[in-house]
Amino acid sequence: MPLDNIDKQIIQALLNKGRESFNKLKDLTFKSGIEHMSHTGIRKRVAKLKDSEIMNIQGNLNLNKLQYYFAFIFLELEDYEKVKEIIEAYSDCPRTFLLTQVTGQYNLIVGVTGQNIDVLHTYLNHCGPTNKKGVLHSEILFTSNIQIPKFLPINLFSSISQEHKCGNRCKKCEAFLCGDCNGCGNF
Amino acid sequence: MPLDNIDKQILNALFKNGRESLTNLEKVVVKSDHEMMSHTGISKRILKLEDMGILKVQANLNFNKLDYKALFLLIEMSSYEEINNIINAYSECPRVFLLTQVTGQYNLIMGIVGQSIDVLHRYINHCGPTNRKGILHSAVIYISDFIVPKFIPINFFSGISKEDKCGNVCRNCEAYLDGKCEGCGNF
C-alpha cells in the first residue's frame, strides 16, 4: 500500500506523540491547503495503517537513560539452514533489539542489550548466539551510547522467559546464579 | 531512576499497544496481590516516565511492508573530532534509523533506509557519509530482511530538509533531478 500525504502527516504526528488524541491529530492533519480531516476520518486511517501492519504505536524505551549497555554481533554462518535456526532461536529473545539478515561478508547482524557490561559479557558467553552450531565467524562491537533511535522499540519487561527458544537455561548461568541478572524476561 | 514493578508492567503494556486506554491499563497493572492501580495513578506514572526521558510512545514503521530497502554502514574514522563531525552532520538525517558509536574495528555504525535500492545507491554516492573527510575505511552491508524490531521509529515524513546539516544539496543530486527522490525530508 503506497502512503499518501495524509497518512504521512498522521505518522509524523504520532511519531512525535503516540498518544495524541484524535481531536488534536485532526488539527495537525491537512487534507488540502486549509481543509482538515475529520477525527473519524483520522481514526479510520490509523486503524487501517495498524491493520495493514505498516505502523504500530508502541512505548519505546531510552535505554541510555536506564544505563543499559549494547553490543552488535556480526555472524557468518555455514549455510542458510543455520541462519534460520539462529533467527528462530533469537527473534523473541528479550535482549535482542536488532536482528537482520544481511548480504555480504556476514549473514546476520544482531544487536543485544544488557543491564551492565558484566551481564552483557555473560550473555555473550552463556546465552548469546556466538557459540551456536554453524557459526563460522563472529565479531562483536560494543557500544555505550545509541544516538539514533533515541527511543528503542524493545520489550524488556514481558516477564516471559524465552529459554525454550534459544535452549539456554538461566539456572546454569553465572550471571543468574550470582544475582546480576534476574533471568530471561525478568530484567 | 530504578524502575519498580509497576513501571515495568506499564512499559510492557504500552509496548504491546501504545494507545491503550487508561481504563484498560488499570485492569492489567497490579500493585500487589489483589490491589490494582487507579487510572489517575497510571496516568501520573506514564507522565513521569515520559518527563524523565525514559518512555516515548511513538508510531513505528514496518520497512518490510513498505518495501523500503535498508543497509548498514560501518565506518572507521581517523580521529574523535571527525567522529563528532559525522554525528553532527547525520544525527537528524531523515534516512538514518540507527547511529551509534562503537568500540572495536569500526568507530560508527549507521543504518540507512531508502525507498528503493536505486535511491540507496545514490544516497551512498551523493549525500551519505562515506565520502567525507576523515574516513579511513567504510563497509556497506545490505539488509535483506528485518526481523527485529518489526516496527522501527524513523523521522521519515517530517517535511523538513536537513541539507544544511550534512552540507549536501538535493538540487545537485541525480536521484533528485531524475525524480526518484523527492528531496531531503519529503519522502
**pLDDT digits 0-9 by tens, B103-157:** 988 999 999 999 999 999 999 988 899 989 899 999 999 999 999 999 999 999 9
pLDDT digit string, tens, across residues A132-165:
999 999 999 998 689 999 999 999 999 999 999 9
**Quick one: cell of A105?**
561478508
pTM for the model stands at 0.94
Nearest to B72 by CA among B6, B134, B155, B129: B129
A150 reaches B (C-beta below 8 A): yes
Q: Considering CB atoms only, which of A3, A59, A101 is closest to B145? A: A101
Structural Rg of chain B based on CA atoms? 21
Report DSSP letters for B56-117, one per residue.
Answer: EEEEEE-HHHHT-EEEEEEEEES-HHHHHHHHHHHTT-TTEEEEEE-BSS-SEEEEEEESSH
What is the pLDDT, as a whole number, of residue A60?
A: 98
Residue B136 CA to residue A150 CA, distance in Å, equals 27
Query: Does some domain include residue A120?
Result: yes
Chain A hits for B148, Cβ within 8 Å: 91, 96-100
Percentage of residues of chain A with pLDDT beyond 70: 99
DSSP label of A79: S
Domain CATH number, residue A83? 3.30.70.920
Subunit contact A141:B147, Cβ cutoff 8 A: no
Q: What is the pLDDT of residue A32?
A: 77
- Take residue A141 and report the three cell numbers written for it: 562491537
Closest by Cα among B138, B137, B141 to A106: B141
How much is the ipTM here? 0.93
Give B114-149 as a 3 state SS string.
ECCHHHHHHHHHHHCHHHCCCEEEEEEEEEEEEEEC
Q: How far apart are CA A8 and CA A17, in angstroms?
A: 14
Write the CATH number of the domain with boundaries B63-177.
Answer: 3.30.70.920
Indicate whether A25 and A76 sit together in one domain: no
Q: Which three cell numbers stand for residue A103?
A: 548480504
CA distance A55 to A153: 13
User: Range of A77's domain?
Assistant: 69-177
Count of domains observed in chain A: 2
